Structure 1
Amino acid sequence: MKWFVPLALMIPSACALAQSSIEIYGITDAGINYLSDAQTRKVGGKPTGVARWAFYDGSVGGQQGSRLGVRGSEDLGGGYKALVRLENGFSLQNGAAGQGGAIFGREAWTGIQAPYGQITLGRQYSAIVQFDAPNLAAQQWAGYMSAHPGDLDDASKTWRINNSLKYTSPVIARWQFGGVIGREGSSSVPGSDTVWSVGADFQDENFRFGAGFLDADKPNTSFFGSNVNSAGASANNMGSTGSLTSPESNPVFGGYASARTLRILALAASYSHDRATVALAYSRTSFAGLGSDAGPNPFRYTGTASFDDVELSGLFQMTSRFDVGTEVNYLRGGSVEGKSDARYTTASIGAMYFLSKSTDIYSLLVGEKATGTDSLNQPSVAAITGMTPSSSSFQLAVRIGMKHTF
């Protein structure tokens, strides 16, 4: 036992060598929204609406949702670090927690960073968010109103993957790759309620390319139903058809809750030169196996509903404090049982004035035109992301806001 005493004395010394850091950070985003046509209810099976002015947190059409987070790391030596991140989303309107009321609904994970990569476990974003989305206008400057309709291709951080294991590689010759796999529910069937995603990106001084893929089994519960207040397969966690007293939600793809599988492929590239950045993105989203027991199917859909989305955007630094951005997005939805395709054309323009490195005031203008038949088996209504859908085929949204980061 002579070796025990000196070894025990070494343990506090080794712990003292570890370097720990804890950082509290956050974002507040507040503004006033104008919506030209917002549904209020359905009368005779058809939606009705009114124009609306209202104060909203950034999670409703702003650049970024308000949040408060804690991130920490501890140097374990030998190129290893222990990591943790807990991030809460909240509303500046009333202080309520976001993401269905979860304390740390945006992110909650812990893990290890090593010379061969980073491994984390918890509630995390997909590889599409990590590698593809940074090239898109919504993540760069335009916020949720300019996200692809309904955020159907998972590029604007609307959903997370619970109970997940994630790996991110080190940067190798300017490339980085990674993947995440998670599971919702307690089914004993292999692969049931599983969500997995992989991706990669390349970056140099001026050019960035990102790609991501996501596969979700029974997405109504495993992916879209990942918030704490979500219901099971008997309910639609992807949207609603509205009623005599409430508006519809997510008419773009909310009618496809019975899909057995969701698959998303997303590609995006951006190029920066001097004071300008231009970007091009494409995604294909498929809801396959419609008519399964994964969720409600009031319209008795079968087969597959697929969407193709193309985005072109630009960001221009007019002065050291003033930026202007513009975006055009086109989404085409494939037919289900021979019904007409749905098409959504969205145009956005934004202006940002930076009062400091941490604070900016901004304005966003977004217009959307819809045609064809949407997932709720009706003439397509415009549905700017994050907004109450229109009662008609056109919708215009305006926001003036202020964002502060700390």
Structure 2
Amino acid sequence: MKKTLLALAVMGALAGTASAQSNVTVYGVLDIALNVADNGASANSRTISLDNGTQLPSRIGFKGVEDLGGGLSASFQLENGFNSDSGAITQTGRLFGRQAWVGLNGAFGSVKFGRQWAPLFLALAEIDPFEVGLAGDASLMFGSGTYPLRTDNTVNYSLPAMNGLTGQVSYILGETPGSTSANRQYGVGLGYANGPINVQFGYHNANSTNTTVAPATVADAKHLLLGGVYDFGVVKAHLGYGDSTRDSTVAGSAVKDRNWMAGLSAPIGVGTLMFSYIRNNVRNVANADSTMLALGYSHALSKRTSVYTSYSHTSNEANAAMGGAAANGNDTSLFNVGIRHKF
């Protein structure tokens, strides 16, 4: 009897040790909004819909860390995206289309392998007053809306945090037989956040992206971003600059964009008021510029639940069709009101 009790005590201690070394979290977001969109096609071009993820895309995920000893740990993240209005899987039907990676962490920083966020997109999210969400989502305008969100087959190295300085490098394998350059991509992100200052830099270089941009297929793409936020206490000032070049398979069809963003965000009680002005300038195409003005408000009902509303208007020149325009030269608008819950 004593031996049995001793054995149970030892097993319990071992189980407690294993539990202390490993930690897995289940989390998610449910976000749904009533949207009113006008693509500018005609007097009857307005669409009213119930849409998923207007402030934050709906998701369910699993993440964890295991202590390996000696200052080394293993980590992973699996994240599924779905439409809260229909229950359908997003990201072209991928089970874990939002995140799917495993990595090692230590004093050297961290190395992750799998499907991950692009450093350029993370930099933009840091400086956008709307945090790349709602009607003012800056990723819809920067680089004519061609910024990479996530990348497959990615090896990512992140520096350890050093007095507010962060940095990461991503290399995306093209996996093309006989070539190490075809479909290859790489990205860099650098940031400094200390006190009221947050400065971000991002760069992405992609070979043979095969993205269709009329009148041809994009062969190579380069995106650069520089921006920052300064917190004055009563209000935050947001500034951003982007430069993009998308080469084409057709001679003379390259597209060169420049972007400017100026915005404000201000706390109002338990809520946040947001405003932004974004200009997309196509340098080598006449009358192809676009301007977006956006205003939004998010109100926290608790630490996990918030309600929000936002509005944007995009003005397009004769050869531009940003903001979901039905055709070149159409101006568009988007209004939404919704609710978001984190768990």
Q: Please, what TM-score do these two structures have when normalized by structure 1?
A: 0.75
| Among 77, 80, 90, the residue aligned to 2:82 | 90
The CA deviation at 1:363 is 0.6
Which structure 1 residue ranges, 5 or more long, are not aligned? 1-11, 40-46, 221-236, 239-253, 292-299, 374-379
Aligned residue in 2 for 1:307: 257
Match of 1:397 among 330, 334, 339: 334
1:272 Cα shift? 0.9
Taking structure 1 as reference, are residues 15 and 302 closer, same or farther at Cα in structure 2, changes over 3 Å only? farther
Q: Is the 8 A contact 2:36 2:46 kept in 1?
A: yes
Alignment of 1:233-272 (within 5 A): 237-238=211-212, 254-255=213-214, 257-272=216-231
Q: Is the 8 A contact 2:215 2:253 kept in 1?
A: no
Q: Aligned-pair distance for 1:154?
A: 7.3
Task: Give the one of 109, 125, 134 matched to 1:117.
Answer: 109
Q: 1:286 and 2:277 equivalent?
A: no
Matched residue type, 1:201:
G
Q: Deviations over 1:248-285 (max 9, x none)?
A: xxxxxx32652221000001100112232111001111
- Shift in alpha-carbon separation, 1:347–1:390, aligned structure 2, 3 A: farther
Aligned to 2:316: 370
C-alpha distance 153-345 of structure 1, shift in aligned 2 (>3 A): closer
Distance 1:169 1:198, change over 3 A: same
2:131, 2:137 within 8 Å by CA — same for their partners in 1? no
CA distance in 1, matches of 2:28, 2:205: 31
CA offset at residue 102 of structure 1? Answer: 0.2
* Residue among 203, 207, 222 paired with 2:193: 203
> How many equivalent pairs are there?
331
Aligned partner letter, 1:400: V
Q: Distance in 1 between matches of 2:204 and 2:290?
A: 23
Structure 1 residue 357 displacement after superposition: 1.1
Q: In the alignment, which residue of structure 2 is the partner of 1:181?
A: 171
When structure 1 is superposed on structure 2, of 29-38 and 340-349 the one drifting more is 29-38
SS in 2 for 1:258: strand
Structure 1 residues 277 and 155, CA, compared in 2 at 3 Å: closer, same or farther?
farther
CA deviation after TM superposition for structure 1 residue 366, in Å? 0.3
Report the equivalent of 1:360: 306
For 2:156 and 2:55, locate their aligned partners in 1 and report how far apart those are by CA, in whole Å: 27
Residue 277 (structure 2) aligned to one of 322, 328, 332: 328
Contact 1:125 / 1:161 at 8 angstroms: preserved in 2? yes
Q: Contact (CA 8 Å) 1:38, 1:391: kept in 2 or not? A: no
Matched, 1:32 2:22: no
| Structure 2, gaps ≥5 residues long | 1-12
What are the within-5 Å matches in structure 2 for residues 13-32 of structure 1? Answer: 16=17, 19-32=21-34
Q: Is residue 180 of structure 2 the alignment partner of residue 190 of structure 1?
A: yes
Structure 2 SS opposite 1:97: coil
Percent identity of the aligned residues? 21
Q: Kindly report which structure 2 residues correspond to 1:51-200, keeping only aligned pairs within 5 A, or say none.
A: 51-58=46-53, 62-139=54-131, 142-143=133-134, 145-149=136-140, 152=143, 159-200=149-190
Counterpart CA distance in 1 for 2:61 and 2:234 is: 32
- Which stretch of structure 1 is more off in the superposition, 146-155 or 358-367? 146-155
On the 8 A contact 2:124/2:139 being kept in 1, the answer is no
Contact conserved, 1:132 with 1:209, CA < 8 A, in 2?
A: no
In the TM superposition, what whole-angstrom CA distance separates every residue of 1:306-361 from its partner, at most 9, and x where no partner exists? 10000011111121x222111110110122xxx41411100000011111111111
Instruction: Give the one of 343, 346, 351 matched to 2:297.
Output: 351
- 1:296 alignment partner in structure 2: none
Identify if the C-alpha distance between structure 1 residues 397 and 363 changes in structure 2 by more than 3 Å, giving closer, same or farther: same
Aligned 8 A contact 2:318 2:329 in 1: no
Taking the aligned partners of 1:137 and 1:301, their CA distance within structure 2 comes to 38
Counterpart residue identity of residue 232, structure 2: H
Q: Give 2:4's aligned residue.
A: none
- The answer on whether the counterparts of 1:37 and 1:391 sit within 8 Å (CA) in structure 2 is no
Query: Any idea what the Cα deviations from partners look like across 1:120-151, whole Å, max 9, x if unmatched?
Result: 000011111233431112317x5365324355
Whole-Å separation in 2 of the counterparts to 1:124 and 1:318: 34
Q: Secondary structure at the match of 1:137?
A: coil
Deviation readout 1:143-186 (Å, 9 max, x if unpaired): 36532435537797x63211110000012232111100112443
Distance of aligned partners of 1:189 and 1:255 in 2 relative to their CA distance in 1, 3 Å threshold: same
Whether contact under 8 Å (1:367, 1:394) holds in the other structure is yes
Secondary structure of the corresponding residue to residue 131 of structure 1: helix
1:185 and 1:149, CA in 2 relative to 1: closer, same or farther beyond 3 A?
same
Q: Sort the Cα spacing of 1:210 and 1:261 in 2 relative to 1 into closer, same or farther, 3 A.
A: same
**Partner SS for 1:128:** helix
Shift of the 214–119 alpha-carbon distance from structure 1 to 2, 3 Å rule, reads same
Quote the offset at 1:219 in angstroms. 1.4
Residues 184, 207 of structure 2: 8 Å contact kept? yes
Normalized per residue, the structure richer in strand is: 2
